[in-house]
Amino acid sequence: MGSIYRPKYKNKNGELVESSIWWLKFYVNGKPVRYSTRTDKEGVARKILKLKEGDGVAGRPILPKVNRKTVGELLDDVLADQSANNRRDAKQVAARIKNHLRPFFGLWNAASVTDDQVRAYIKERKEAGAKAATINRELSHLKRGYSLNQRAVTVRPEIPHLKENNARRGFFERAAFEAACAGLPAYLQPLLTVAYITGWRIKSELLPLEWRQVDFKGRTLRLEPGTTKNGEGREFPFTQELEAGLLAQRAHTDQVERERG
């Protein structure tokens, strides 16, 4: 059974004073281990003691930095992972962390975050008007931080996934589509046609397309893995109208190439 205590020391005046920092004393394989929690909060110190005792019983190494990281440091690891893997949504992730996760969790010891505190974050974000899908994206970064630090943080809170209601309402009816096309310059009409037929995102999926992803012979339009929202590749078989739209775009491209040499 371990204990927490505040060690005493002599200050520069030779007076015996008590440290504001709590220390732990517990046993691993019958040998005493003393450990600074680096916190002046008794409740946090007791939670760290339980974690350390659990590590000792389970045979996990009692290292100085185990269960010492803050949530802010976990979030830093998430940003580093995003950068290392050239994630397309890195800017969005950085914004969610900066604007929401770090202000709420940043200074907390990661191992001491409770389920209640995660629920408090969810409540605060809902009261601020955030939708379930937005909160889920934010919590996924928090969960990722814990996953990247499984050996450094041996205890983590339950991070729920909220039910999302993102069903799109209404349809872009044929008449509305044709009216929109008629109001666009000719060079944009094929793009809208392909978007209408495939349902793919214009900004993130269609505009970055290259001609190597259009297989006129095999009659398929292809999105490469890593370029879609879920990271998976995607193919769409030609319809007569889709093929006509792509051929029109090819003709426009050929014309631009001739004009610009």
- Using a pLDDT cut of 70, give the percent of the chain over it: 89
**Which one, of 2, 65, 64, lies nearest residue 32 by Cα?**
2
Q: How far apart are CA 218 and CA 89, in angstroms?
A: 31
pLDDT (tens digit per residue) in 177-224: 888 888 888 888 888 888 888 888 888 888 988 999 999 888 899 888
pLDDT at 58 over 60: no
Task: Reply yes or no on whether the pLDDT at 260 is more than 70.
Answer: yes
Phi/psi-derived region of residue 36, left when phi > 0, alpha when psi is between -120 and 50, beta in every other case: beta
Q: How confident is the model at residue 91 (pLDDT cuts 50, 70, 90)?
A: confident
234, β-bridge pairs = 223
**pLDDT per residue as tens digits for the range 101-131:** 999 998 888 888 889 999 999 999 999 999 8
Q: Which long-range contacts (CB under 8 A, 24 or more apart) does 252-257 make?
A: 252/186, 252/187, 252/190, 253/211
What's the pLDDT band for 57 if we cut at 50, 70, 90?
low
Segment 37-45 mean pLDDT: 84
What number is the average pLDDT over the span 66-71?
81
The whole-number pLDDT of residue 141 equals 93
CATH code at 71-147: 1.10.150
Q: How far apart are CA 34 and CA 252, in angstroms?
A: 74
Q: Is 86 helix (H, G, I), strand (E, B) or coil?
A: coil
Is-contact 221 213, C-beta < 8 A?
A: yes
> What are the domain boundaries of the chain?
3-58, 71-147, 174-260
